[in-house]
Amino acid sequence: MRIKTIEKLCCPFDKSDLDLTIISQDETENITEGLLICDNCKRVYPIISGIPIMSPDEYREFKLEKPVLERWEKHLEGKKVDNFRLIS
């Protein structure tokens, strides 16, 4: 996913801006893994294989995303993810 594309995204729930944390990029600097975090509601949307997972909560399965989020835990600055939201 290109950074310019990510700059146009917003939280699908409250239309707030998203903060980007880049985990990895390919040789053309497209983002292959990362996190998008809503400034307002603190929802976490992972970017996996260049695709942001931004489905409504009821269509997401936390148990499927949990291993990825645990692997990226060091990028969360000591915070945890519960019910798709960043908590202290």
Q: Is the pLDDT score of 31 beyond 90?
A: yes
Q: What is the pLDDT of residue 32?
A: 96
Q: Residue 65 sits in which domain range? A: 3-87
Hey, which residues does 18 pair with through a beta bridge?
38
Model confidence, pTM: 0.89
Number of domains in the chain: 1
From residue 3, alpha-carbon distances to 21, 23, 37, 52, 81 in Å are 11, 13, 15, 12, 24
Q: What is the pLDDT of residue 1?
A: 87
Interval 41-80: pLDDT, tens: 999 999 999 999 999 889 999 999 989 988 998 998 889 8
